[in-house]
Amino acid sequence: MTRRRWIADEVSGDRAALVGQHADHLVSVLRARVGQDFDIATGETVRRGRITLLDDGRVEFELGEEVSHASLAEITLVLAIFKFDRMEWAIEKCTELGVSRIVPVIVRRTDSHLTAAAAKRLERWQRIARQAAEQSRRAAPPEIAAPIKVAEAFSFPGSLRIVLAESEERTLLRDVVKPDAAEVGVVLAVGPEGGWTEDELQSFRQAGWISASLGNTILRAETAAMAATAVVASTLYSL
């Protein structure tokens, strides 16, 4: 039977712990007990952990042997901010698909009330990513960066930077990403509801980004983010 994986909140030598709501879920919902074994991700490794203490808001583990785990390619998702419920869905599913970093971006078509509230959502987005990482048995959640403005996104670093554009008619994403891109990583920029404005697309291109599309249909922002991540991940992991 596959053991459930948890990402430790605290690690010290051969000891680890979950704290707060993280621990409460294990105790109250999953009815954990002393002596039960789980896989515990400690940042750089995953180890078998046996529960030694159950307390209010705290679960402690004794760490044992290292457990093998798959490494993930470097996939950065530069994600325009859109309706929070749909954006949370995208963060959860793209985490399951293997993104290593998500950078929320305030763009021209981001609603003003979303712009004002975005910074306060960061902790919630990070919690969603951690839960999705545990569910999908990742060794660590993706980094969820603080929101940036679109002007900062144009100069975002990366050897292979791709901006998804509905107006792109010649280049498909699947034709841009090759398996050897796993060596350098991929940066994907996904626009908001309504897409990038023409001047934003022009700025991406002038900054050296490759424009690509997912096909002839118009996708919702969250669908585009998940589909693009799946295309890239399936290519990079084909090695």
Last residue of a domain, one of 18, 35, 67: 67
Q: Is the pLDDT of residue 124 over 80?
A: yes
Last residue of a domain, one of 13, 42, 67: 67
Do 93 and 14 have their domain in common? no
Over range 136-149, report the average pLDDT. 93
- Under 8 Å between Cβ of 10 and 22: no
What is the domain-level CATH number for residue 219? 3.40.1280.10
Do 110 and 225 have their domain in common? yes
pLDDT confidence of residue 68:
80
Q: Supply angle C-alpha 195, 197, 201, rounded to 5.
A: 95
Do 116 and 224 have their domain in common? yes
- What token pair was written down for 63? 């760490």
Q: Is the pLDDT of residue 165 over 80?
A: yes
CA distance linking residue 220 with residue 148, whole number of Å: 22
Do 62 and 88 have their domain in common? no
Of residues 102, 74, 118, 126, the one with CA closest to residue 190: 102
Please give the residue that has the higher pLDDT: either 105 or 26: 105
**Count of the separate structural domains present in the chain:** 2
Length of the chain: 239
Within 10 angstroms of residue 222's Cβ, the number of other Cβ atoms is 23
Q: Which domain holds residue 57?
A: 5-67
What is the domain-level CATH number for residue 35? 2.40.240.20
In the chain, the amino acid numbered 24 is D
Do 63 and 96 have their domain in common? no
Beta bridge partners of 46: 41, 67
Q: Supply angle C-alpha 45, 50, 56, rounded to 5.
A: 105
pLDDT confidence of residue 239:
46
- Under 8 Å between Cβ of 109 and 193: yes
Q: Is the pLDDT of residue 114 over 70?
A: yes
Last residue of a domain, one of 48, 67, 86: 67
The string of pLDDT tens digits covering residues 26-72 is 888 788 899 999 999 998 789 999 999 998 889 999 999 998 877 77
Global pTM reads 0.86
The string of pLDDT tens digits covering residues 12-34 is 999 999 998 888 888 887 888 99
